[in-house]
Structure 1
Amino acid sequence: MIPFEYKRAEDTDSAVATVTGQPAARFLAGGTNLVDHMKLGIAEPELLVDVSRLPLDEVLELDDGGVRIGATVRNSDLAAHPVIRQRYPVLAEALLAGASGQLRNMATTGGNLLQRTRCVYFQDVTMPCNKREPGTGCSALEGYTRYHAILGASDDCVAVHPSDMAVAMAALDATVVVLGQDGERRIPLTEFHRLPGSEPQRDTVLEHGELITAVDLPAQSAGHRSAYRKVRDRASYAFALVSVAAVVEMDDGGSITEARIALGGVAHKPWRATRAEEMLRGADASGKNFRRAAEAELKAARPLEDNAFKIPMAQNTIVAVLRDLTGVAADAEPEESE
């Protein structure tokens, strides 16, 4: 490992000032992703500013019925928190699906949002990678692409974002609270991560030195239902081939009044399924409507050589989650595509 300097932050303002003033400085919290990258030679910070002991480790109920999650709340504590389990089960389920207990005990909320892709070419410093070294090329385009993107990719990068937690937060309309030298700003989580475009090295819209201090979850209606489903090669904490987070509200007549759906494992960021949502709002809860909405969302998919299976997998997972949330039986009606 290349030598680096270490400082423990005394408060958020000094942490931001220190990192902002040094281009090669990074924030350190749980370190479950960053330390791995330092060992692999992917990241070479000259200074680590430890923010893990700042008072950002609480889950607070807000006056409007929402919840504020501090940036250093551990994933295990967040998944077990009674308010999260009761009001936001989709988030608790995503966290529990995301990693082993040992990792959840270390990983933080802010760090989870900032974790980088697990693309094998990104993690292999002997291979060209535009995300790791801009302008060198994307090895995945002509390589092994089973785990790569089918939505929102570019000629410069086809990697996917690995977080389960972020997918659930995207479906919950979460807001990321960040602190920079110019003060605090609030970023909708759906706008926090970037699609690769021609700058795949930029995972988020954060400026250097900006520190995540919290994530705010809005209040949910009393009748909402939510769930997270992750499809993976093995049950023991593999990364998602496809995942679906969904939040649904229905009226007494069985019509969907609100639907929010996010997909993981398919894009460079948590993919908000806005086409499917639009088709579902006001529609009857039925297998046929679920199937049509899922197919409409995946029409924009552009699979690679090894991952065309992700299109039907994503469609089927969306339908399955919506069935579970609405109580529509799998054999209630045919699901023929038009």
Structure 2
Amino acid sequence: MKLMSNEYIPVLLSTIVVDTKVGCDLYLEVCENDKINYILYCDETKVFNQDKISGLIKNKIGYLYIRKQDLKIYSKYLEPCLKKVVESDDIGSAAKAKIVYDVAKNIMEDFFSNPRSGVPVGRVKNWVSTTVGMIMNDTHSSPLINILSYDYYTYTHSVNVAILGLLFSKCIGLKLEEINAVGIGLLLHDVGKTHINFDILNKKGKLTDEEFEKVKMHVELGLKMLSQVGSIEEASFFPVMQHHEKNNGKGYPQGLRDNAIHQYGKIAAIIDVYDALTTRRPYSDARKPFTALKIMRDEMGGSFDEKLFAEFIFFLNQAV
């Protein structure tokens, strides 16, 4: 796979659909006098036609380049044809994983930066369905695990949790429709945080009791937002409403215990904490997977379903 330059990102030629407009400028990488230059090949207003593709294939060129600032545009371009991309035999697992991740990040960043646009349920469902299809047909989890972001933003956390949850759900033998349901809930589990003050969410240090009470409201706010959408299955609500419940009854918002917590809620609770521990936060560095699991076992005893937590450790040992 090609490496990024300081200003340009490589994109596989096979991800560009013939007779479409990508929406951003596409560049060729050219080496002249031992210096790398990037030459405009197709500007954003032009259709990428068969002649352009044929010329590149004839010269054995498999990559074009986009400017870094155009990654969001390119990810949005890929979204409608994501299924075709992940089913392509011409694209490797690592490249597919990055595309899947970037598309999901784009969906959630769009929402969190403009929540008044409404919860993007259709986009979420399409992404989950396509990603589940890829996961079910791929025996290797590592490309998707390796692409996860270790810098914490609410939208990257949502994507990390969804991807880990989809992979884990497959590992423990959930059925296809169950994996889809849990995936939708995981990707949307923190939508209520759009109603919480940004300064509180990103505070460097311990929250006051009053601030923590405000943060806890994101669960019920998220449920209210999703219930107004009307096109989400009931099963997908469990990760949203139970990702802060604890097996010992010390969680919120309902203080549920053990079997009163749905399996999807238990999955969400484990992965939500794991991702929070393994990503950089405003108030803490990212922990290594082993350290995070040790903290969850030793310092959060009783918080998680023991059987599921043991299965999660097994899953990570196989996947990482």
Task: Give the TM-score taking structure 1 as reference length.
Answer: 0.25
Structure that is richer in helix per residue = 2
- Greater Rg by CA: 2
Task: Give the TM-score taking structure 2 as reference length.
Answer: 0.26
Structure that is richer in strand per residue = 1
